[in-house]
């Protein structure tokens, strides 16, 4: 039996950004930034969460939600 993976699990993605704002996500140019927000949670643990999220529209018209892990600098994609 295969394990199912939740569609909302963050997955690494390649992002080209300028000053923290994504310009290209997985080879697709960003047409618009709809929203941007900061999440800081679990600061009391050994692994606090610090993420800068961006809700984007790609040139193909797709909605994209990506975040930069502010602890590691890595970019991840989440289901829109």
Residue by residue, what is the 3-state secondary structure of the chain?
CCCCCCCCCCEECCEEEECCEEEEECCEEEEEEEEEEEEEECCCCCCCEEEEEEEEEECCCCEEEEEEECCCCCEEEECC
Note whether residue 4 is domain-resident.
Answer: no
Q: Is residue 36 part of a domain?
A: yes
In a domain, 16, yes or no: yes
Domain count of the chain? Answer: 1
pLDDT at 66 over 60: yes
Domain of residue 63 covers 11-78
Mean pLDDT of 65-69: 98
Reported pTM = 0.86
Whether 5 maps to a domain, the answer reads no
Evaluate whether residue 6 is within a structural domain: no
Confidence of residue 14 (pLDDT cuts 50, 70, 90): very high
Asked if residue 1 belongs to a domain, the reply is: no
């Amino acid at each position: 039996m295969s394990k199912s993976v939740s569609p909302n699990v963050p997955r690494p993605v390649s992002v080209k950004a300028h000053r923290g704002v994504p310009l290209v996500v997985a080879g697709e140019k960003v047409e618009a930034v709809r929203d941007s927000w900061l999440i800081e949670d679990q600061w009391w643990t050994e692994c606090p969460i610090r993420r800068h999220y961006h809700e984007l529209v790609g040139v193909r018209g797709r909605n994209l939600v990506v975040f930069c892990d502010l602890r590691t600098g890595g970019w991840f994609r989440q289901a829109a």
